[in-house]
A and B are shown apart, each in its own frame.
Chain A
Amino acid sequence: MKTRIPTVLPAVVTAGALLAACSGGTEAGDSGGGGSKTLTLASVDQGSVEDVVKAFEKANPGVKVRYTTSGADQYQQQIRTQLSSGTAPDVMSVWPGNGNPGATYVLAKPGYLRDLSDQPWAAKMPDAIKSVAQYEGKTYNAIFGQNGIGAVYNQQALEKAGLTPPDTWKDLLEFCRAAKAKGTPAFALGNQDNWVTQLVQYALVATTVYGDDRDFDKKMQAGQATFAQSPWTTALDKYLTMERTGCFQKNPLGTNYEASQGLAATGKTLGIVQGNWVIALLKGKNPKGTFTFKALPATDDPSATIVPAAAGAGYGVNAKAKNKDLALKFVNFVMSPEGMNLFVKKQGGLPSLPDTGYAVDPSLTELSKFITEDRTVPFMDQLWPNPKVQQTMLSGLQEIFSDQSTPEKVLKEMDADYKAGS
């Protein structure tokens, strides 16, 4: 975890607390002094929030943001402890929807987040994003960016192999065979890190499940559909067909996320099935490389292809924020064209609100097109009732890949966890 606490700050904070205590109430103390000038913030946007904080401080002279950044796992532990012990920061990273320990529903339900429905940007959110930024009809999450999952190709490696990205399922398998014959497998797969196992599955489910039935989630929620009795089986079958056809490098279960990036970045594979965020990481490993995002086809009709694209983590305001005004100011800055563009440019994603004047990176043209044409579905887990469904799927996929389980068994287990509810 990176922590940035200027040395004078503890003194300032202590002095502020003492002043507040003397004036007989924290609220009175704040307003009496013209509003406290320190905002506390906890973020998972490592590498990008730093710039936003700098710009925010510049736009608000005299204001100091005291912030910490950490990885998702560590952050989820930290924020839960802080919230339940009353020591959480004013503003914090919050994931969209449900299904992880730091998600909107999970934090809004016990009343830890402030209702942001009255903020100017809340009404402008597109429906797909609104659905995961809200809990019981109220907006709690300032979601600034969105991401997609698909095939990210290494252009140089493609040219060397003399192959072009496929846009039908049949061509995809042909592409895999040709790539394998040339000694460079089509895609790197880092299934040792269990969250990676789901990405190919999501990319295939988007088209096979949601292509024919956009209301699949509503049917699941109403108990009218199950994983085991739906085209989820088709998608899983296609995933394994890809594996058998040789679309991935050898031993995906012994390859971690980091190693899989290395394979795709250096042209040992022609690409990688990942979120668009991997492009920045691939460029970090091979600055001369050109990487392009394409949809992963799952049927033989290119116009039927759908891409999983979803809101990334946003920011929520602590319901008991010590500095409410400044917290709202920060969140509104994040949702302004300036803050939003700073964030998405650094992260390699796309803004969540229209009309921000953002120039899309050429590598993301296809993703941007799918989003504007409304050919996307949110990441599947964002609307699941509890985190267990996803965890069962992740370890289940590892078990399928290592012959410890079968697709039918895993989908049935996911159904059981789904039915257990929240």
Chain B
Amino acid sequence: MTLAPNEHLPDQDRPPDVEPPPRVRRARAMPPWWFALPALVLFAFVVLVPSIRGVYYAFTDWDGLDPSFSFVGLDNFADMVRDPDAVQAIRHTLLIAVSITVIQNALGLLLALGVNSAIKSRNLLRVFLFAPAVITPIVTAYLWRNLLSPDGAVNSLLGAVGLDGWRQDWLGSPQVALWSVVGVIVWQFAGYSMVIFLAGLQSVPKEVHEAAAIDGAGPVRRFWSVTRPLLAPALTINLMLSIIGGIKLFDQVYALTGGGPGHATDTISTLIYKDAFTLGEFGYSIALAVVLTIIVAVVSAGQYLVLSRNERAAS
């Protein structure tokens, strides 16, 4: 027979029924803050200080080269509002970010549900579907640039199966190019979302599903009432990652279309690059970067608040 820790002691020998001393408990729960000091110093030195110093240039007319430049206040931000390229780039960025977030996660969830079933080749399928996510984005972008060229494999395939009318100048037509970029990114990262959803799905206890099935719940009902609430944390992670990635999008766009034709696929990031390195407008470009940072911070904070409330409601 096992005894609870103090059960065998006479009453008078029991320690008083109080909490352990707070100092000791807190020490166990959280290591002293100065443990993080070396990392904090390094972070401050390499990331924080340069970033804050960099922000200063957003209020100057620095060209990236000339040591003499002047403080121009909010001029760069005012120019941005008047700059049709910047306004258009912000619109594209938000459109791309939202489309990617929706399509990539919907597809990722479907794939996860698929490969979570008991089919024989599911492990092989998981590997195949996840494979694009481990390739460097720039490589996949160059690959797709060739596949999507007017004489490329995609158009040849469409021709071969009799869908001549669907053939497009995928990257050269302003109406289509933006969606081609979205398509390539979804192709690459749907597998990534899938893996996170898969981890969520596998944490759903079988017994709960079985109990629901015995109670007469069909597959749709089981997904909605049992699986979905338990997937909430995976959904939060996926949505956060894809919206932040979508807003910051640079390399795939730059390699696929260079922001073109014209400015039809420019995002804030490609515009930052062009303004800084092609036009030598560093001050303006850093102002754009500051705006990008603010957009990322606001969108991800808002999203986090909404999603974590949903998560609590679901659990």
Contacts and interface: CB of A to CB of B under 8 A. Distances in A.
Contacts of A388: 279
A194 B258 contact: yes
Given A77-B277, A110-B66, A251-B169, A259 B149 contact: yes
Interface in A65-116: 73, 76-77, 80, 83-84, 101, 106-107, 109-110, 112
**Most A CB atoms within 10 A — which of B64, B172, B173, B261?**
B261
A80 B150 CA distance: 37
Interface residues of A, number: 37
Contacts of B126: none
Interface stretch (A127-135, A294-302, A394-402): A394-402
A405 B263 CA distance: 11
A253 B173 contact: yes
B274 A391 contact: yes
Nearest to A397: B262
Contacts of B170: 254
B264 interface: yes
A295 B262 CA distance: 28
B65 A107 contact: yes
B248 interface: no
B67 interface: yes
Nearest to B64: A80
Nearest to B67: A110
**Most B CB atoms within 10 A — which of A77, A191, A254, A395?**
A254
Interface string A242-275: 0000000011111110010000000000000000
B65 A398 contact: no
B68 interface: yes
B278 A398 contact: no
B280 A101 contact: yes
Contacts of B114: none
A254 B279 contact: no
Contact count band on B: 20 to 34
A101 B264 contact: no
B145 interface: yes
A110 B263 contact: no
Nearest to B281: A388
B261 A253 contact: yes
A238 to B, nearest CB: 21
Given A254-B150, A256-B149, A404 B174 contact: yes
Given A192-B171, A251-B150, A395 B65 contact: no
B262 A110 contact: no
B261 A398 contact: yes
B260 interface: yes
Contacts of A194: 258, 260
A192 B174 contact: no
Interface in B130-189: 145, 148-151, 169-174
Contacts of B66: 109-110
A192 B262 CA distance: 10
A21 B263 CA distance: 53
A404 B260 CA distance: 11
B261 A404 contact: yes
A80 B264 CA distance: 29
A250 B150 CA distance: 8
Given A83-B65, A391-B274, A402 B262 contact: yes
Contacts of A193: 258
B150 A395 contact: no
A391 B279 contact: yes
B145 A256 contact: yes
Nearest to A79: B65
A402 B173 contact: yes
Given A109-B66, A396-B262, A402 B279 contact: no
A409 B258 CA distance: 22
A84 B67 contact: yes
B257 to A, nearest CB: 8
A404 B176 CA distance: 13
Given A101-B280, A401-B261, A254 B65 contact: no
A403 B257 CA distance: 17
Interface string B239-282: 00000000000000000011111111000000000100111100
Contacts of B257: 192
A111 B28 CA distance: 61
Interface string B4-32: 00000000000000000000000000000
A398 B262 contact: yes
Nearest to B168: A254
A387 interface: yes
B261 A110 contact: no
B246 to A, nearest CB: 23
A405 B279 CA distance: 22
Given A76-B277, A110-B65, A254 B169 contact: yes
Contact of B149 (A80, A255, A387, A395): A255
A255 B64 CA distance: 33
Interface string A182-195: 00000000011110
Nearest to A268: B151
Interface of B: 64-68, 145, 148-151, 169-174, 257-264, 274, 277-280
Given A192-B258, A387-B280, 19 more contacts: A76-B278, A80-B64, A80-B65, A84-B64, A84-B65, A101-B278, A106-B65, A106-B280, A110-B66, A191-B261, A194-B258, A253-B171, A253-B261, A254-B169, A387-B279, A391-B278, A398-B262, A402-B261, A404-B264
The 3 closest A-B pairs by CB, nearest first: A253-B172, A254-B172, A399-B262
12 contacts: A80-B64, A107-B65, A192-B257, A386-B279, A387-B280, A391-B278, A395-B262, A398-B260, A399-B263, A402-B262, A404-B174, A405-B262
